């Protein structure tokens, strides 16, 4: 079991090793998608990127799939698709569902000076 903290939801849950994160989130009523994304998504095929998450320890998850390499890998190894990854080993893990995209004016150095350390770490 991995102890996973979902930061936006402020929930800590034990997740079994090899559990798919998308299926686990949906089974536990964690908001991986907002409306209308909860209706219009690729159903775990790795195409829509709507299940994008940010994790603090990517080494505790399964290796990135080809779909992840093609879609979210440019943002860094902390960004994953919940439908494509499973818990690989025991340990603590923090997850942010629906993290903000890294692009545009928020990448400007002036913006980075205005946000708090916690926002920088977790990408709110
Ligand atoms: S559900 Fe579409 S990429 Fe994960």
pLDDT in tens, 39-64: 999 999 999 999 999 999 999 999 99
Q: CB of 49 closer than 6 A to ligand 1?
A: yes
Task: Judge whether 109 and 37 are in contact, CB under 8 Å.
Answer: no
Contacts of 41 (CB under 8 A, 6+ apart): 33, 48, 50, 51
Burial class (CB in 10 A: 0-12, 13-18, 19+), 84: buried
Measured between alpha carbons, how far is 87 from 40 in angstroms, rounded to an integer?
A: 25
Q: Hey, whose CA ends up nearest to atom 1 of ligand 1? A: 44
47 lines ligand 1 (CB under 6 A): yes
Average pLDDT over residues 95-107: 77
Q: For ligand 1, say whether the CB of 50 is within 6 Å of any of its atoms.
A: yes
CB atoms within 10 A of CB 48: 17
pLDDT of 97 reads 94
* C-alpha of residue 109 to centroid of ligand 1, in Å: 31
Domain span at residue 48 reads 2-122
Q: How many domains does the chain have?
A: 1
pLDDT confidence of residue 100: 82
Decide: 35 and 58 in contact? Cβ < 8 Å: no
Q: According to the model, what pLDDT value does residue 124 have?
A: 52
**53: alpha, beta or left? (left if phi > 0; alpha if psi -120 to 50):** beta
Q: What number is the average pLDDT over the span 17-46?
A: 93
State the DSSP code for 65. Answer: P
- Residue 74: which CATH number? 3.10.20.30
Q: Indicate which residue's Cα is closest to atom 3 of ligand 1.
A: 46
73 vs 68: CA distance, rounded Å = 6
Is 71 close to ligand 1, i.e. is its CB under 6 Å away? no
Which atom of ligand 1 has the smallest separation from the CA of 81? 4
The verdict on the CB of residue 48 being under 6 Å from ligand 1 is yes
Per-residue confidence (pLDDT) for residue 109, from 0 to 100: 64
């Amino acid at each position: 079991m991995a102890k996973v903290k979902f930061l936006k939801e402020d929930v800590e849950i034990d997740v079994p090793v090899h559990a798919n994160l998308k299926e686990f989130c949906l089974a536990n009523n964690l908001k991986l998608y907002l409306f209308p994304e909860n209706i219009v998504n690729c159903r775990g095929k790795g195409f829509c990127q709507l299940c994008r998450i940010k994790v603090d320890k990517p080494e505790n998850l399964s290796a990135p799939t080809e779909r992840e390499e093609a879609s979210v890998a440019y943002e860094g190894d902390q960004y994953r698709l919940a439908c494509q990854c499973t818990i690989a080993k025991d340990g603590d893990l923090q997850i942010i569902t629906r993290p903000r995209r890294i692009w545009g004016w928020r990448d400007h150095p002036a913006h980075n000076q205005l946000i708090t350390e916690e926002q920088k770490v977790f990408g709110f």
